[in-house]
Chains A and B, each alone.
Chain A
Amino acid sequence: MPTKPLAAGVLSKQDLPQAPEPSARVTISGTARTGRRFSVPRSVRRSAGPVGLVLLWFLTSATGVLPESVLASPVDVVRQAVELTKNGELPSAIAASGRRAAIGFAIGASIALSLSLLAGLFRLGEDVIDSSMGMFRAIPWVGLIPLFIVWFGIEETPKIALVALGVTYPLYFNIYGGIRSTDAQLVEAARMMGLGRFGLIKYVILPSALPGALVGLRYALSTAWLALVFAEQVNADQGLGYLMSNAQQYFRTDVIVLCLVVYALLGLACDFAVRILSRRLLTWRANFEGEA
């Protein structure tokens, strides 16, 4: 095909490649504040929800929309709290429950610590322990209450045992996982620097398992209180659970709510303590839970 020589000026505008249409543009407007504008502090905004709910609870109780047989008014709950504190019932119940939680936690934590160290540090321990723990974990531990009653009777022992059991799993799996996730390169470097087996465990393996262990501790403490709630429903003659099941018989929703609040506060206090502990122990981690 012969090519036609192009004469200058023949090219019309249509022959030129179309210039791209100017596409849509967006304006990025600045949000940086120049002056100090009024804004509600974050803490106030965050507490607005819970405070509003309590207020709603109070209002519905006061107007009779929420009958006392369903849920006592917050005023009654507070009054009960004062009264039961004065006559010593609530403090002694908290002490009894706290004792169970503490003993159960101590036993569970010791078991979890020894098992996780054995399984984490030794191949033989891993083979023997870890698969068994995996198997036992599949059993819902709350379901063991009847068996514990058969074994330990209805006194303190089954309650403590249930708390111990609830504590063992989260601690075991988190510490074991922490030990096993130790950076092999760090172990190698530390060995190169002359650390022996004991030094390796002390300076490398345990510190690197610490973050995991603290996560496990948080789970374990909340599980401890949960286990206690279950355990204390069975034949307790003292403690928060006893207070609660007594109240149930007399339809005292104020006392029931009070006990639930106390359980929640105890759980929160434990959680707070672990968070403080974590912050102090894990200062070496660059972005641990953001700013204080």
Chain B
Amino acid sequence: MPNSVEIRGLSRAFDGNTVLHDLDLDIRQGEFVALLGHSGCGKSTLLRILAGLDDEIGGEVTVPARRSAAFQSPRLLPWLKVWRNVVLGLPGRPDRALAAKALDEVGIADRATVWPKTLSGGQAQRVSLARALVREPELLLLDEPFGALDALTRGKVQQLVAELWRLHGCAILLVTHDVEEALLLADRVLVMDEGRIAHELTVELPRPRDLTAPEFVTLRARLLNWLGVTHTLEGTPS
């Protein structure tokens, strides 16, 4: 598979404080990569750079032109009806049918004509995913999109993302600090530390993955160890 993302010698500093150090990374087309790390390790900075929201960088980054993102908060425009939010920014007149198709894909076709304020957290996050996917991206950037959801909803939306990924075949970079989430979804898990990719793990478990399988538990322990969490913790290291 050819590469979708190529990063060579990427560095980024904020007021002399270096956040990314000479970072190299390739993401293959259609690959699902999860990026783990403590708060402030530079993972969100990397994602913003790939999104094109930050260009004060050193080094070279090649990304597909067609890429989109979903963030931790859904970031829907409250003054546009749900379906208008989905097709916001697409060229031409707002295409209602296209929006309906995208909303159907994420399972909330019936909420197309309501205001975003009336959506639950999970529904809003689904709309945000629909908005990202309607652009048929080659690269989808997900910045902790499940972070603000309750555990039950999070499980459902994670499953949805797995299905959508299979369906669309785009490359995904998922920034998270949830080790289990990374292992459930990704082909490859990267652990970032102090602006570098410190560890890399290829997950070869068959899908759908079982949280309780011994291999899964082994990989989880290894990742937690890399993250510096020494004792076994249920839940997420922060």
Contacts and interface: CB of A to CB of B under 8 A. Distances in A.
Contacts of A189: 69, 71, 75
Given A186-B75, A284-B78, A284-B115, A192 B90 contact: no
Contact of A203 (B75, B80, B131): B80
Interface in B87-123: 88-91, 115-118
Contacts of B75: 185-186, 188-189
A223 B90 CA distance: 42
A207 B89 contact: no
B176 interface: no
B88 A190 contact: yes
A187 to B, nearest CB: 10
Contacts of B117: 284-286
A126 to B, nearest CB: 22
B213 interface: no
A161 interface: no
Contacts of B77: 186, 190, 203-204, 207
Q: Is the interface of B mostly helix, strand, loop or mixed?
A: loop
Interface in A208-241: 208, 210
A193 B80 CA distance: 14
A283 interface: yes
Given A185-B73, A284-B115, A284-B117, A193 B78 contact: no
A286 B124 CA distance: 15
A194 interface: yes
A195 interface: yes
A208 B79 CA distance: 8
Interface of A: 185-186, 188-195, 199, 203-204, 207-208, 210, 283-286
Interface of B: 51-53, 68-69, 71, 73, 75, 77-80, 88-91, 115-118, 131, 135
Rank and list the top 10 A-B pairs by shortest CB-CB distance, nearest first: A193-B89, A189-B75, A194-B89, A286-B117, A207-B79, A195-B89, A284-B79, A284-B115, A192-B69, A284-B78
